[in-house]
Structure 1
Amino acid sequence: MEHKTGYTPDFEVREPALQTIPFVFNSPHSGRNYTPAFLAQSRLDAHTIRRSEDHFVDELYAGAPALGAPLLLAHFPRAYLDVNREPFELDPRMFDGPLPPHANTGSLRVAGGLGTVPRIVAENFDIYTGRLPVQDALMRIELLYKPYHACLRRLLARTHDRFGFCVLIDCHSMPGNTKLAGSGLRPDFIVGDRFGASASAALSDAAISILEDLGFRAVRNKPYAGGFITEHYGRPRRGLHALQIEINRSLYIDEATLEKRPEFPEVEALVASFMRRMADFTEHLSSQTSLAAE
């Protein structure tokens, strides 16, 4: 049984009646509430603007509360605000008016058009017809970004306090044509641990092993090692572990129509098995010293 806490029109937490496993699941890019006001700002149609969305990832992980873990999910779309960035990773060319002096205007993600307030969606489609008022960006950060991360921090702190360690699974999807450089391999899953900086090797190894045992092609860190959330919250020496899990979206949607494929229920069931087996892995460790704080 699950219930919702902290529900807003913008994001929600789906909670188990009692949290029984040391996991927090987070789906920051699956939001699909494209408001009329946002669409009116954009040059893109209602279909094209969804190209950066992690389509239905929140539904793939919907079984988390039944397993005993909370699921935080965004309703606002990534094209509107990306919470997997620093809070002020902003492109000054997008806005009328000066940005705050603490804004990070020189990151590679900003240069690529994918800052906190993105300039483009996937495949380099510009979102806006012109510049935005700088106050528009700052409002999105104050009203959405900061409350979202405050909620995530509370979930992680509560879980760590209860179990002595915490595992954050940051849930994402990737385009079907994603390839592993130099091999041509198209992975089904990519497990990102910031090259060992955000989670213990035991946890990353377990994730890869479980996914392969479920019949998937799984690789680690390339081309996606984890974004801001994984980097910011993963502190394995303190018993805070963060993995970014990317699923190849061609497994479960038609990427042209963005409709679910007939295989969606099967993939959802396999994701539920992955979550359950990851929970079993942490429960049955002979020693949790590799996961708990040192």
Structure 2
Amino acid sequence: MRDWLQVVRGSAPLIISLPHTGTDIPPDIESQLASPWLARKDADWWVEQLYAFAENLGATLVRTAISRTVIDVNRDPSGASLYPGQATTELCPTTTFDGEPLYRDGGPDAAEIDHRRTTYFEPYHAALRSEIERLRAVHPTVVLYEAHSIRSRVPRLFEGELPQFNLGTNSGQSCADALTVAVEAACDASGLSRVTNGRFKGGWTTRHYGQPATGVHAIQMELACRGYMDDPAEPPTPDTWPTPFHAARAEPLRAVLEEVLGACLDFANTA
């Protein structure tokens, strides 16, 4: 197993993908970047800590320690946009979510992108496929849960403040309605804001692997960071972002996420 690719195997019919929690950048790539801070600004900060309880549920966790600036393993490997006509970032991002240039000289060329795809993207998805196949061999139904977070306010990507819970099911195509309804109910019982298939409909992983007819149901959860860390309303700076994981603030959100993952397991075990 590669040292940047972490797989924790469980026996329950639930896989949690953590594609954006990494901050590692190889030195030869970091030397090309405009700023080490900018290159890590858009990480899904502390999400691996937030979901640490999932191992006790028997879930399988797949995580890359590599920064999304190197390659975004939740983008279409062909380079096609997931959100045509809307602001987004590429397979190998050249800007931050706020539109700031990541590279001093434009960014990686086609050969470099292909190298990163082979080195990082393909092994990550080989691991996901392997875990899906392993669990499908013993469970008729498996849920693939994409765990994400983002700052509550990113004006270039969306207006105003993002809801606390943002579910993506590729507009209902990546999982059964019953799973969506169960996860929505768990979120709504908290009294916190929630939207389904709003600005975030699910990335490439959700769209690619979510094939309900084959027993694989995929759903993406994009959390607003304010639920578990200080999330300043003003544009972030190296002095204000990222803020530390806030355990006391996170506890109510973690309790909701336990209900969410419980709903995923209940669905998988009874579908």
- TM-score between both structures, scaled by the size of structure 2: 0.86
> Is the alpha carbon distance of 1:145 and 1:213 closer, same or farther for their aligned partners in structure 2, counting shifts above 3 Å?
same
Provide the rounded CA distance (Å) in 2 between the counterparts of 1:183 and 1:37. 36
Counterparts of 1:249-288 in structure 2 under 5 Å? 249-255=225-231, 256-259=240-243, 260-261=245-246, 262-283=248-269, 285=270, 288=271
Which of the residues 127, 138, 143 maps onto 1:162?
138
- Residues 177-230 of structure 1: CA distance to partner in whole angstroms, max 9, x if unpaired? 269x99967411011111110000000010010112234322110011111111
The residue type paired with residue 49 of structure 1 is A
1:67 matched residue in structure 2 = 57
1:80 matched residue in structure 2 = 70
1:126 aligns with 2:101: yes
Which of the residues 17, 23, 33 maps onto 2:24?
33
- Identical positions, percent: 26
Residues 113 and 119 of structure 1 are in contact (CA less than 8 Å); yes or no, is this contact kept in structure 2? no
Tell me whether 135-144 or 252-261 shows the greater mean CA deviation: 252-261
Provide the rounded CA distance (Å) in 1 between the counterparts of 2:111 and 2:204. 23
The residue type paired with residue 8 of structure 2 is R
Provide the rounded CA distance (Å) in 1 between the counterparts of 2:86 and 2:178. 35
Q: CA deviation at 1:80?
A: 1.1
Q: RMSD between aligned alpha carbons?
A: 2.6
Provide the rounded CA distance (Å) in 2 between the counterparts of 1:175 and 1:55. 9
Provide the rounded CA distance (Å) in 1 between the counterparts of 2:37 and 2:90. 21
The residue type paired with residue 17 of structure 2 is N
- TM-score between both structures, scaled by the size of structure 1: 0.80
Provide the rounded CA distance (Å) in 1 between the counterparts of 2:159 and 2:86. 28
Q: CA deviation at 1:83?
A: 0.8
Q: CA deviation at 1:36?
A: 3.3
Structure 1 alignment gaps of length 5 or more:
1-5, 90-103, 289-294
Provide the rounded CA distance (Å) in 1 between the counterparts of 2:39 and 2:147. 20
Provide the rounded CA distance (Å) in 2 between the counterparts of 1:183 and 1:117. 25
- Give the count of matched residue pairs: 259
Which of the residues 138, 153, 168 maps onto 2:114?
138
Provide the rounded CA distance (Å) in 1 between the counterparts of 2:97 and 2:180. 28
The residue type paired with residue 254 of structure 1 is D
Provide the rounded CA distance (Å) in 1 between the counterparts of 2:129 and 2:109. 30
* Structure of larger gyration radius: 1
